[in-house]
Amino acid sequence: MEFNPHGLIEQYGLDLAACLINRCSPDRLYVQTENLAIARAVARRFVGCLEEILVDRREIASSIHEDYHLPASVYDDSLVDAAIIPFSRQARETPPPAKSMVLLAENSLSYKSLLRPGRVHDSATETRAWLEQRFSDIEVWGLLDPVFVARLALSRLAGHRLPEIHFRVGQQALDDIYVTGYRALISYIVVLSGTLNEAVK
Residue 200, amino acid: V
Strand partners, 80: 98
Strand partners, 53: 29, 72
Phi, psi of 147 (to 5 degrees): -65, -45
Band (pLDDT 50/70/90 cuts) for residue 112 is confident
pTM above threshold 0.85: yes
Picking from 3-7, 19-23, 86-90, 195-199, which range would have the lowest pLDDT averaged per residue?
3-7
Topology given in CATH for the domain delimited by 8-145+177-195: Rossmann fold (3.40.50)
- What average pLDDT does this structure show over 31-38? 94
∠ CA 78-197-184, nearest 5°, is 105
**H or E element, residue 42:** helix 36-44
| 31: three-class secondary structure by DSSP | strand
Burial class (CB in 10 A: 0-12, 13-18, 19+), 118: exposed
| 99: three-class secondary structure by DSSP | strand
- Whether the per-residue pLDDT at 201 is higher than 60: the answer is no
For 52, other C-beta atoms within 10 Å of its C-beta total 16
